[in-house]
Amino acid sequence: MCRIGAIKSKDFVHPSTALCLMQSQQKGHDNSGFAMVMQDLGGVFADYKDKPLMSYACTDAGVKIVEDFMREKGFSLAFHWSPKKNDATGLDIELMQHYHFENWDYPKLMANAPQAEKEELLTGIRLELRRVLEDAGDKIGFVYSFWPDVLTLKEIGNPKDIGTYFDLWNKNDKLMAKIITVQCRQNTNYDIVRYAAHPFFNQGYTVLANGENTFYVKNKECQKNLHRSYIGFESDSQCFLYTLHYVHRQLKWPLTYFKHVITPLPFDQIETRDDAQVLLSIRQSLPHLEINGPNTIIGVLPDGTMINTCDSKKLRPVVIGREGDTVALSSEVCGLNDIMPNRDASKDIYTNERETVIINNDLEVLRCKQ
Amino acid sequence: MQTVKINDITPNDLPWTIEWSEDKCKMCGSCTAACTFGAIEAGVEGRGVTFSEGVAPNPQAAAKRAVPVIRQVADIKHRCTGCGMCEKVCPNRAIRPVRNEDNRWNFVNRSAGMPKRGGRSNLGVEDRTLDKIVVGRISQMTDPSLDALRHTFDMRAPFGRILPPEQLPLSVGPDGTLQMDKPLPTVNWIYPLVFSDMSIGALSTRCWEAISMATAYLNEECGIPIRMCSGEGGMPVSLLKSELLKYMILQIASGHFGWNRIIKAMPDMVADPAGIIIKIGQGAKPGDGGLLMAQKVAKHIQAIRGVPKSDLLSPPNHQGLYSIEESVQKMFLSLNAAFKFRVPVAIKTSATASSVSIYNNLLRDPYNIVGGYLIDGIQGGTGAANEISLDHTGHPVVSKVRDCYNAAVAQGRQGQIPLWAAGGIGLTGNAAADAFKVICLGANGVFVSKILLQLMGCVGNDRGRCNACNTGLCPAGLTTQEKKLVKRLDIDKAAQNIVDYVLAFDSEMKKMMAPIGNSSLPVGRSDALVSTDEAVANKLGIQYAC
Ligand code: SF4
Ligand code: SF4
């Protein structure tokens, strides 16, 4: 079972906090993987917020492919950073040769292009690069995200050891972010591949989930035609990202309608509501994006808003707590106890089956009933 | 020596022979009275009798005696259909039909010209695709299954045109919620089981009434939004003008029988019908029009249809419409306009190799008026159909539904034109399991008809028993207008049987939805199925398991 967590704070947070959040939940995951997405970065990336940041893991050959590819596309390297690696023996981690986090300057022609055009370009580059790497050979390289102010790290192995290898336990000011989403354990429903680990990221949207998507086949069959970036599907949880992206970015529906899409109200309840027509139209147009399985979903929007919602049977746990200028979400309450020992636990929120909890950038926590 | 008349028919040439026991028979005449086909008659046979008189045995041959017997009529027209009515009425169990494996039926029956026969396909019923599929993905540890008894399930399927999300007329209002700017095409969310189109001429009035009673009861007392399709030929004006019309789907077939009355009744309708089905073809006699034999066109049928007593043949196609695009547009536009676009209009064809092309055409639907596509497979059908059609024409429905669904998936348009499947659903009595599997393969719901007859007391089966629905002599009073025969039908019991079956169907569906963790219908959840037959698995794109 995956364990997931998320931290949103007004101050910069070090990934060690996220590791601590997960560490106490270790009995609930199988130590087979770790993944993390950091957004609104500080530390060494603070000066490059507007430049797209590429996160990738590669072999020697892969690095060359990436660099050649990027140059050919007209990008120039603005900043490169690799975590300090701790090659201690006995670490349980399936290493790649290189882990790169690179800020790139847009091609000259694009420098002043409108934001939307830039976003399409970045998406296209990531998709193309992923294909190029895949074509070049098995496990040559993995490109996780290419977006301003977003860093993604995914690895197969014991989260604790992965933390050790990347020096993430050591609190310093190099790697900092105001939003960190994190998951322990690979998704083992399908192949154990690096891409399969959540959080998943696409065009400013991050989603991770604890649970199982029994509607995976339906979701996937529908999503693969909806947007060119809906690819991969290495994990059944990936579908949640695409649905959030589709509902919010493509259809431009208000955030609260995500819940109406994934877990629509039963017909007899819809019929009693003033907005019955709207809800019915959504339910009948998008039945293939519904989920029925047990899930807790955490999402982050491009503007930094964080959300949490659950399946309509509320079969998976999640808890939200707050201390000072930080709000954290965790599969298990022990995670919160570890990083927020002094919070008022009576104010913890256990998101219910018909709720979407929205945490905005002022850290106001809104509970929206579906 | 007597001449052997080699071409004479004997009971042994017929599919059913009568086993009659002289010992048990008390010659009450019940059986001959009950046999609607005139397949048995009382006769006299000469017998030699030996008797004894006196205290000591003293057997003596008597003169020949005339003995009354019940014997089978050995001609094609009055052949025994194996319906078993004689057995049912016999107080002494002295008579019963026996299947005659050594018959010469295929050779002799054509001598009377082309036989018509109603009922069911008689070939290939043992080897059903649906029986080679089982629900293989059971929710266990990580995705717990549901409690079939206590959980609430959303058992509804769409009937009507569904717009893709980007075409929904939604905009964000000042309060940050979505507003609907203009109305959508009408979609009725109904139970995924529809009582299929059997016309009020094909069935006895009381039989049709029993189904409509069951429909109304299920809706009003059981809260199951089931719908019934009128079949071709219209319906009583009193029903057209009643509130109950909302449970009826009107059918328009190529003969357009009954439509003038429907149109005339429109101004007085207090409720909209649940939908309209344009029937292009049916599973029982694909490529053929409808056929109601003159013997079934009773007075009230003449009145409802507005026709004289004669064979009523619908042409095999809708006259004047020669392409999918043209026909669909013309018919859909006019029918939609007739009800001011409030009533969804769906189309029904026989399953065929080209079903996918038809569906693809429907999916284009620039007018947003195609409310559904119903595919009727080879095992469907009641009523009058040529034996040759029943046995040798048609297309299995399962793979066609799957192909159509996959075609929609490939275009990202699944669900926009609801897919409904018919033809053999419930053939073995397991309608819920059949429906569940077809729904997992991509259908939104199913239509059933023959099983309704069976629930009401039809004694026919798919191995050539009875199947005389076209003759107007239905021994169960179901498919006849013969007053005496119709009385055999206990209308309340018939309706109750249907209601009971649907209630069982409902809980069986839930029993299957629960273990795969679905609280709504499992449309397209092909991952929940596995097949024990590799070829079936490959064709349907589901897992092979052994
Ligand atoms: S089985 Fe039916 S058709 Fe045959 S003799 Fe008996 S009643 Fe008549
Ligand atoms: S009992 Fe009636 S409905 Fe059934 S097969 Fe015989 S004739 Fe047809």
Q: What is the pLDDT of residues B470-486, one digit of tens each?
A: 888 999 999 999 999 99
The distance in angstroms from the start CA to the end CA of chain B is 64
Question: Nearest-CA distance from B419 to chain A in Å?
Answer: 14
B212 is in which domain, residue-wise? 131-544
* Rg over CA atoms, chain A: 20
Helix (H) or strand (E) holding B356: helix B355-364
Q: What length is written for chain B?
A: 546
Q: What is the pLDDT of residues A107-149, one digit of tens each?
A: 999 989 999 999 999 999 999 999 999 999 888 999 999 999 9
Residue nearest to atom 3 of ligand 1 (CA): B80
Q: Is the pTM of this model over 0.90?
A: yes
What is the best residue among B14, B17, B18 to mutate for testing ligand 1's pocket, by most ligand atoms within 8 Å of CB? B18
Considering B113, B146, B169, which residue would you say is the last residue of a domain? B113
Q: How many CB atoms lie within 10 A of CB B340?
A: 9
Ordered by where they begin, the domains of chain A are 3-369 (3.60.20.10)
Q: Are residues B283 and B385 located together in one domain of the fold?
A: yes
Instruction: Answer yes or no: are the C-beta atoms of A23 and A183 closer than 8 Å.
Output: no
Whether residue B51 lies inside any domain: the answer is no
B88 Cα to the center of ligand 1, angstroms: 10
Whether residue B56 lies inside any domain: the answer is no
**pLDDT surpasses 70 at B320:** no
Could you give the CA distance from residue A24 to residue B499 in angstroms, rounded to a whole number?
Answer: 56
Could you give the CA distance from residue A254 to residue B199 in angstroms, rounded to a whole number?
Answer: 49
Q: Which of B156, B163, B168 sits opposite A267 (nearest CB)?
A: B156
From residue B342, how far is each of B195, B345, B537, B541 by CA, in Å?
21, 9, 41, 37
Confidence class for position B122, pLDDT limits 50, 70, 90? low
Q: How many CB atoms lie within 10 A of CB B221?
A: 9
Strand partners, B59: B52
- Which value, to the nearest 10 degrees, does the dihedral of the CA atoms of residues B441, B443, B449, B452 take? 70
Helix (H) or strand (E) holding A68: helix A60-72
Q: What is the pLDDT of residue B110?
A: 80
Whether residue B440 lies inside any domain: the answer is yes
Could you give the CA distance from residue B262 to residue A49 in angstroms, rounded to a whole number?
Answer: 69
Could you give the CA distance from residue B411 to residue B405 in angstroms, rounded to a whole number?
Answer: 10
Could you give the CA distance from residue B215 to residue A346 in angstroms, rounded to a whole number?
Answer: 53
Q: Which of A22, A2, A31, A12 is nearest to A329 (CA)?
A: A22
Whether residue B54 lies inside any domain: the answer is no
**pLDDT surpasses 70 at B431:** yes
DSSP B520: B
Q: Which of B493, B420, B536 is nearest to B131 (CA)?
A: B536
Q: Which of B156, B187, B525 sits opposite A218 (nearest CB)?
A: B525
Could you give the CA distance from residue B284 to residue B350 in angstroms, rounded to a whole number?
Answer: 8
Q: Which of B412, B520, B524 sits opposite A225 (nearest CB)?
A: B412
The distance in angstroms from the start CA to the end CA of chain A is 27
Question: Nearest-CA distance from A217 to chain B in Å?
Answer: 7
In B208-280, DSSP assigns E strands to 227-229, 248-252, 275-279
CATH code at position B93 = 3.30.70.20
Q: Are residues B186 and B324 located together in one domain of the fold?
A: yes
Confidence class for position A337, pLDDT limits 50, 70, 90? very high
Q: Are residues B221 and B175 located together in one domain of the fold?
A: yes
Confidence class for position B537, pLDDT limits 50, 70, 90? very high
**pLDDT surpasses 80 at B118:** no
* Cα B285 from chain centre: 12
Show which residues on chain A lie within 8 Å of chain B, measured between beta carbons. Answer: 1, 211-212, 214-218, 221-222, 224-226, 250-254, 257, 266-267, 275, 277-278, 280-282, 284-288, 290, 292-294, 312-313, 315
Q: What is the pLDDT of residue B125?
A: 61
Q: What is the pLDDT of residues A155-178, one digit of tens each?
A: 988 899 999 999 999 888 899 999
Higher pLDDT, A336 or A27: A336
Q: Is B80 annotated as a binding residue?
A: yes
Q: Indicate the burial class of B49 (C-beta count within 10 angstroms; 0-12, 13-18, 19 or more).
A: exposed
Higher pLDDT, A292 or B130: B130
Q: Which contacts qualify for B20-23: CB closer than 8 Å, 24 or more apart?
A: B20/B69, B20/B70, B20/B71, B20/B94, B20/B95, B21/B94, B21/B95, B22/B67, B22/B69, B23/B94
Mean pLDDT on B294-323:
81
Whether residue B146 lies inside any domain: the answer is yes
**pLDDT surpasses 70 at B116:** no
**pLDDT surpasses 80 at A310:** yes
Could you give the CA distance from residue B135 to residue B432 in angstroms, rounded to a whole number?
Answer: 12
Q: Are residues B81 and B23 located together in one domain of the fold?
A: yes
Domains identified in chain B, total number: 2
Q: Are residues B187 and B94 located together in one domain of the fold?
A: no
Q: What is the pLDDT of residue A189?
A: 60
Q: What is the pLDDT of residue B117?
A: 67
Higher pLDDT, B515 or B65: B515
Q: What percent of chain B has pLDDT over 90?
A: 64
Q: Are residues B88 and B150 located together in one domain of the fold?
A: no
Q: Are residues B326 and B427 located together in one domain of the fold?
A: yes
**Per-residue buried b or exposed e for B439-470, using 16+ beta carbons within 10 Å of the residue's own CB:** bbbbbbbbbbbbbbbbbbbbbbebebbbbbbb
Higher pLDDT, B509 or B144: B509
Q: Are residues B86 and B139 located together in one domain of the fold?
A: no
Mean pLDDT on B384-407:
90
A326 φ, ψ to 5°?
Answer: -130, 135
Whether residue B421 lies inside any domain: the answer is yes
B47 φ, ψ to 5°?
Answer: -130, 145
Instruction: Answer yes or no: are the C-beta atoms of B419 and B442 closer than 8 Å.
Output: yes
Q: How many CB atoms lie within 10 A of CB A42?
A: 18
Angle at alpha carbon of residue A220, lines to A216 and A222, rounded to 5°: 125
Q: What is the pLDDT of residue B124?
A: 60
Return all residues near B286 (Cβ < 8 A) that are at least 6 apart. Answer: B350, B351, B352, B376, B378, B389, B393, B394, B395
Residue nearest to atom 2 of ligand 1 (CA): B83
Whether residue B305 lies inside any domain: the answer is yes
Q: What is the pLDDT of residues A219-262, one digit of tens each?
A: 999 999 999 999 999 888 999 999 999 999 999 999 999 999 99
**pLDDT surpasses 70 at B12:** yes
Q: Is B86 annotated as a binding residue?
A: yes
Q: Are residues B324 and B284 located together in one domain of the fold?
A: yes
Q: Indicate the burial class of A77 (C-beta count within 10 angstroms; 0-12, 13-18, 19 or more).
A: middle
Q: What is the pLDDT of residue B449?
A: 92
Which two structure tokens, joined as six digits, stand for B308?
Answer: 């004289």
Q: Is B119 in the pocket of ligand 2 (CB under 6 A)?
A: yes
Q: What is the pLDDT of residue A94?
A: 87
Kindly list the protein residues whose Cβ atom lies closer than 6 A to any atom of ligand 1. B 16, 18, 34-35, 37, 39-40, 80-86, 97
Could you give the CA distance from residue B435 to residue B225 in angstroms, rounded to a whole number?
Answer: 16
Q: What percent of chain A has pLDDT over 90?
A: 78
Instruction: Answer yes or no: are the C-beta atoms of B84 and B35 closer than 8 Å.
Output: no
The ligand 2 atom nearest the CA atom of B468:
7
Could you give the CA distance from residue B87 to residue B466 in angstroms, rounded to a whole number?
Answer: 14
Cis-peptide into A199, omega within 30 deg: yes
Could you give the CA distance from residue A205 to residue A209 in angstroms, rounded to a whole number?
Answer: 13
Q: Is B28 annotated as a binding residue?
A: no
Q: Is B526 in the pocket of ligand 2 (CB under 6 A)?
A: no
- Which value, to the nearest 10 degrees, does the dihedral of the CA atoms of residues B198, B199, B202, B208 take? 80
Q: What is the pLDDT of residue A194?
A: 86
Q: Are residues B347 and B452 located together in one domain of the fold?
A: yes
Q: What is the pLDDT of residue A223?
A: 96
Confidence class for position B119, pLDDT limits 50, 70, 90? low
Angle at alpha carbon of residue B226, lines to B358 and B342, rounded to 5°: 60
Instruction: Answer yes or no: are the C-beta atoms of B373 and B359 closer than 8 Å.
Output: yes
Confidence class for position A294, pLDDT limits 50, 70, 90? confident
Q: Are residues B359 and B216 located together in one domain of the fold?
A: yes
Q: Which of B168, B177, B525 sits opposite A285 (nearest CB)?
A: B168
**pLDDT surpasses 70 at A293:** yes
From residue A28, how far is each of A3, A31, A307, A331, B417 by CA, in Å?
7, 9, 23, 9, 44
Whether residue B352 lies inside any domain: the answer is yes
Beta strands B291-292; B312-313: pairing state: antiparallel
Mean pLDDT on B418-430:
94
Strand partners, A148: A52
Q: Which of A267, A241, A236, A334 is nearest to A27 (CA)?
A: A334
Angle between helices B205-220 and B491-513 (to 10 degrees): 50
Q: What is the pLDDT of residue B114?
A: 64
Q: Which of B349, B251, B350, B377 is nearest to B305 (CA)?
A: B251
Q: What percent of chain B has pLDDT over 70?
A: 96
Show which residues on chain B lie within 8 Å of chain A, measured between beta carbons. Answer: 139, 142-144, 146, 152, 154, 156, 158, 162-166, 168, 170, 172, 176-180, 184, 187, 189, 409-412, 414-415, 516-520, 523-527
Q: Which of B374, B380, B350 is nearest to B125 (CA)?
A: B380
Q: What is the pLDDT of residues B229-288, one digit of tens each?
A: 998 888 889 999 999 999 999 998 888 888 888 989 999 999 999 999 999 988 888 888
3-class DSSP string for B304-336: HHCCCCCCEECCCCCCCCCCHHHHHHHHHHHHH
Q: What is the pLDDT of residues A311-333, one digit of tens each?
A: 988 888 899 999 999 999 999 99
Q: Are residues B281 and B193 located together in one domain of the fold?
A: yes
Could you give the CA distance from residue A296 to residue A208 in angstroms, rounded to a whole number?
Answer: 8
B contacts of A212 (beta carbons < 8 Å): 142-143
CATH code at position B244 = 3.20.20.70
